[in-house]
Amino acid sequence: MTSFDTTSARLSPLQAVIFDWAGTLVDFGSLAPTQIFVEAFATFGITITLAQARGPMGLSKWDHIHQLLKEESIAAQWQQVFGRAPADADVDAIYARFMPMQIAKVGEFSAPIAGAVETLQWLRANGLKVGSCSGYPREVLDQLLPRAAAAGIAPDHVVAGDELPAGGRPGPFMALANVLALGIGDVRACVKVDDTVPGIAEGRNAGMWTVGLSLSGNEVGYSPEEFAKAPQQEVEDRVAAAQARLKNAGAHHVVRSVAELPRVLAQMAAGMRAGRMPG
């Protein structure tokens, strides 16, 4: 069930919306990568918390691991276990351990977030193209995409976090690759939608409008079961903190989930017709 009217809207001059995947279109709470980071580090005798695992979310997975190993408490554990500071070769080793575990698990977290299917249908009915990019490597996306498509989530283009020589987030490269693939004439006519700080930075660096998602993704981090049982005040407190982080990262708008996106897009389009542009 969605919270918007599915009748047509005037979205000109917007041309495309570019979505993140986990925590944005699928996998409420962005759970698939988080637990696997914990498990992959554990195989090396290193204990990290779910909160620590969530910290760099939105980066490509190699960069995510690299960032975790820079964290003082994790680096200290590595020094204690291995007698030296972590190096890039250690990132490679953890990544090699992480990848098969992530490939095996990602399909279990492919369910669309409520409203995602209807939102994509609404965008296409109103003439917008649908792009996407992810911190997931292509091998992981190859497992996720067929399941997501069977459930109704099939963007026009997908860019993986490991397939561009220029790199991933927070750089603009994956978002701009979507612009090229979709044939968009003006980056200012694109909207980047993401649940992470690096994902918002990606959109801003690409010169796009950005919309942050506070409740459904990494910043709040509830599983669907946890969300159903959570006290209302706790939910509101977490959402407020997530909204603040996403706004501080530069999000032009923040909503709870993709189900609320159509209302914001209509506002953006009206603003653009009045002369406002992302900045």
Secondary structure, 3-state, the chain: CCCCCCCCCCCCCCCEEEECCECCCECCCCHHHHHHHHHHHHCCCCCCCHHHHHCCECECHHHHHHHHHHCHHHHHHHHHHHCCCCCHHHHHHHHHHHHHHHHHHHHHHCCECCCHHHHHHHHHHCCCEEEEECCCCHHHHHHHHHHHHHCCCCCCCCECCCCCCCCCCCCCHHHHHHHHHHCCCCHHHEEEEECCHHHHHHHHHCCCEEEEECCCCCCCCCCHHHHHHCCHHHHHHHHHHHHHHHHHCCCCEEECCHHHHHHHHHHHHHHHHCCCCCC
Give the residue numbers marked as catalytic: 20, 61
